[in-house]
Chain A
């Protein structure tokens, strides 16, 4: 398992977003802070009923932003050739790699 970075930055539409990583109840979460007045929020990648994985905000309500930012986090790690593994609450046997 690759160690996740505690805090890193990604870019979205020319803006620098701060991403803070936390592991809560064995689930890896990413807390996003914006340079403008948008409220920070938390996203994670979880399993749907039919075993598809999707990005969501936690709590619910900012799904579109999660869908937009989540892939940037994946791209960040891919660019570093570090594909972190997270543990899913439903399928610990299946490494929930980003």
Chain B
């Protein structure tokens, strides 16, 4: 007789459970609740196995660190900002995203990674805010926008790929090794133009073929740039409004209707949207 978690089980079950443990250890669970970029938490990434047409699913810190950030102090300064010698505050550098149109330009911190360390960020959906400027009493738009959060996903896909680039870092003060990643962004498609109407950008979502090419292809700079700027079709995406306090809600993807908000149309019919991405 054997014991598992202190409970008596058959030998057969014990062996089976031990085998199950190994499978559980290798299963690509998401391992993280709703991911907020500014937490610099870890996100699931498909990283090419060196020299092979194969990949590992790993977790990387979302927030690309350039090679000159090689101590934990520099990392904190980079991400949180710091007071310079003159007492003035140096703001943090936000490197959650890399602009596809800029990243390959000479001297850009993302250039080397775009050429040699491309990866795929696994996503089930993402969040953006639509800015709406209410009208004032005299009929003029007010200066302060009301922000409506949206959850955006790819139709009929539980997971999809975003183009990414990654960077390794070994902190010289602690010896700790980490991998950091930035998500590539491109110009918004018609759906995302309406939602992310303040910046009109969107992550570079890739088709399966482009994802394969991005990860494994021996690509010219021109082709890297082309793929990085790929605009995923709006018709294949879906979006819905969600609670303004979704970051702390039990189901952040739950659809919430705002009566005052003009409905999104093409490609984003709220009524057709599933109540949950995973529903």
By a beta-carbon cutoff of 8 Å, the part of chain A in contact with chain B is 5-9, 11, 16, 18, 20, 22, 24-25, 27, 29, 31, 33-35, 40, 42, 44, 46-50, 54, 56-61, 63, 66, 89-90
Contact = CB atoms under 8 A, between A and B. Distances in A.
A54 B3 CA distance: 13
A62 to B, nearest CB: 9
B24 A35 contact: no
A20 B30 contact: yes
A9 B251 contact: yes
A90 B17 CA distance: 11
Nearest to B28: A22
Interface residues of B, number: 34
A48 B33 contact: no
A58 to B, nearest CB: 5
Contacts of A16: 33, 248-250
A58 B20 contact: yes
A49 B24 contact: no
Nearest to A24: B23
Given A50-B8, A60-B4, A89 B13 contact: yes
Given A7-B278, A33-B31, A90-B10, A66 B23 contact: no
B279 interface: yes
Given A6-B278, A49-B8, 11 more contacts: A8-B278, A18-B30, A18-B33, A20-B30, A25-B20, A27-B20, A46-B9, A48-B9, A54-B7, A59-B21, A89-B13
Interface SS, A side: strand
Residue from A18, A31, A61 with most neighbouring chain B CB atoms (10 Å): A18
Contact of A22 (B5, B29, B249): B29
B11 to A, nearest CB: 10
A66 to B, nearest CB: 7
Contacts of B17: 46, 58
B6 interface: yes
B264 to A, nearest CB: 24
Contact of B4 (A8, A24, A56, A90): A56
Contacts of A61: 5
A16 B253 CA distance: 14
A14 to B, nearest CB: 11
Nearest to A7: B278
Contacts of B24: 24, 29, 42, 58-59
